[in-house]
Amino acid sequence: MRLAIVTPFYFPSVRGNSITVQRIESGLRDQGLIVRVWSLENGPSPDEILRALGEFTPNLVHGFHATSSGRVVVEAASRFGIPSILTVTGTDANADLFDPERRAGVIEVLCRATRIVVFHEVMRAKIAGELPEVGDRIRIIGQTVRCQEAPFDFRSRLGFAPDDLIFFVPSGIRRIKNVTFCLAPLEALRRHHPEIKAVFVGPVIEAEEGNRLKEALEGRPWAFHLGSVSHEELCAMLKSVDVVINSSLSEGGMANSILEAMSRERAVLVSDIEGNRTVVQDGINGFLFGSETEFLEKAERLIREPHLRRTLGVKGKEKIEREFSREGEIQEYLQLYEEAIGAEARR
């Protein structure tokens, strides 16, 4: 099978879509598929991608993020008579589907796609509620974890003491990720726990948010933004931190950062939104927070109770090992592709 993938971001980017595509691509290549990836980030135009797809002659085209990749994917499928898959990853369903300026475009590409993939039932229900006509074409394939490591001793690089307690925020810097949320409550906790440090890792995606973070870090010498690191370095860093924070306002279900943290037995403290609730069970394999007060209370428990951090980390890893099989994920994609090819042949 020859598979074309179109994605808004790809290696060396460490954004969620890039990490997801690299993981799936690798698994499919291992199964013998011939895979080519086109990234829209600083890359070819849609017309150039369509010409290249014509030369590649794929059996199927798979796009990630309906708003970014949907148009070129469904156009390719129509032009070459092949099935199209669209994976809805987060903001395209949580925001763009309800945005007056983008809604029509999202609806059009979802209606034209042969099959639609979401990461969890909550996303399926949201799309089917808005577009009942595509409900029977939606398939749920959960995210999994592929976290290879490269040595990166950031604790020494930042001059941390062995007993410093690190709250870690791995995220691209953009408004929807709400990364500066944690600084005020962590600063309050430092009055009694001066060993607290905060480390932000990820590229600045929105300049305004980058400036907001830069301003928030001024006067807080205990908080650092390391910028972009490789995915392998990030995976290594997870072993050296104490608590991983996700304060997103919206997630598409199963954020890579949370899954990766749990796979490394790190305690997670994450915003109480539907995407995060698909992975984290409050007080069982992590903590959810719905307000600054709740964040502060649960962060303090994680500081005061190292045994609790360890227990949540162990339970998190157990959940990943039990429910998030990478081999199972790849088999589900293979079955989906065969299903889509069969459906297209019957049209």
Domain count, the chain: 2
Look at strands 84-87 and 165-170 and give their pairing: unpaired
Q: Are 62 and 7 in contact (CB under 8 A)?
A: no
Task: Work out the average pLDDT over 171-194.
Answer: 95
Write the CA distances from 80 to 56, 59, 75, 84, integer angstroms: 11, 9, 9, 10
Residue 85 falls inside a structural domain: yes
User: Could you tell me the pLDDT band of residue 74, with boundaries at 50, 70 and 90?
Assistant: very high
Q: Are 153 and 135 in contact (CB under 8 A)?
A: no
Judge if 110 and 248 occupy the same domain.
no
Residue 160 falls inside a structural domain: yes
Quickly tell me which residue has 């475009």 as its tokens.
Answer: 105
Res 205 pLDDT > 80? yes
Residue 149 falls inside a structural domain: no
Residue 35 falls inside a structural domain: yes
Per-residue model confidence as pLDDT tens digits over 100-118: 999 999 999 999 999 999 9
User: Could you tell me the pLDDT band of residue 35, with boundaries at 50, 70 and 90?
Assistant: very high
Task: Work out the average pLDDT over 274-284.
Answer: 91
Quickly tell me which residue has 């199209």 as its tokens.
Answer: 84
Judge if 105 and 79 occupy the same domain.
yes
Residue 88 falls inside a structural domain: yes
- The overall average pLDDT reported for the chain is 92
Res 324 pLDDT > 90? no
Q: pLDDT at position 252, please? A: 60
Tokens of 212: 């907001």
Q: How far is residue 146 CA from its own chain's centroid? A: 12
Strand extents, DSSP E, the chain: 2-7, 34-39, 60-64, 84-87, 115-118, 138-140, 165-170, 196-201, 223-225, 243-246, 267-271, 287-289
Judge if 12 and 120 occupy the same domain.
yes
Task: Work out the average pLDDT over 180-202.
Answer: 96
Judge if 291 and 330 occupy the same domain.
no
Q: In 3D, which of 217, 283, 278 has the Cα closest to residue 248?
A: 278
Judge if 169 and 291 occupy the same domain.
yes
Judge if 168 and 124 occupy the same domain.
no
Judge if 159 and 304 occupy the same domain.
yes
More confident residue, 13 or 84: 84
Judge if 112 and 178 occupy the same domain.
no
Judge if 282 and 171 occupy the same domain.
yes
Q: pLDDT at position 107, please? A: 95
Judge if 231 and 115 occupy the same domain.
no
Judge if 214 and 80 occupy the same domain.
no
Distance, in Å, from the CA atom of 266 to the CA atom of 260, rounded to the nearest integer, reads 9
Lowest mean pLDDT segment, chosen from 9-18, 47-56, 88-97: 9-18
Per-residue model confidence as pLDDT tens digits over 302-319: 999 999 999 999 999 999
Residue 307 falls inside a structural domain: yes
Q: pLDDT at position 253, please? A: 61
Residue 158 falls inside a structural domain: yes
Per-residue model confidence as pLDDT tens digits over 103-162: 999 999 999 999 999 988 888 999 999 999 999 999 999 888 888 887 778 888 899 999
Judge if 332 and 319 occupy the same domain.
no
Per-residue model confidence as pLDDT tens digits over 242-255: 999 999 987 766 78
Q: Are 141 and 329 in contact (CB under 8 A)?
A: yes
Q: Residue 131: which residues within 8 A CB-CB, separation 6 or more?
A: 107, 110, 111
Task: Work out the average pLDDT over 245-273.
Answer: 89
Quickly tell me which residue has 């090992």 as its tokens.
Answer: 321
Domain of residue 167, residue span: 154-323
Lowest mean pLDDT segment, chosen from 17-26, 58-67, 180-189: 17-26
Q: pLDDT at position 117, please? A: 96
Distance, in Å, from the CA atom of 336 to the CA atom of 325, rounded to the nearest integer, reads 17
Share of residues in the chain with pLDDT > 90 (%): 73
Task: Work out the average pLDDT over 200-220.
Answer: 95
Q: How many CA atoms lie within 13 A of 21 on its CB side?
A: 30
Write the CA distances from 165 to 194, 265, 304, integer angstroms: 9, 15, 11
Q: What share of the chain is helix, strand, coil (3-state, %, to 5)?
A: 50, 15, 35
Share of residues in the chain with pLDDT > 70 (%): 98
**What CATH number is associated with residue 237?**
3.40.50.2000
Residue 107 falls inside a structural domain: yes
User: Could you tell me the pLDDT band of residue 192, with boundaries at 50, 70 and 90?
Assistant: very high
Radius of gyration (C-alpha) of the chain in whole angstroms: 21
Res 166 pLDDT > 70? yes
Per-residue model confidence as pLDDT tens digits over 213-245: 999 999 999 999 999 888 889 989 999 999 999
Task: Work out the average pLDDT over 273-284.
Answer: 91
Q: pLDDT at position 11, please? A: 74
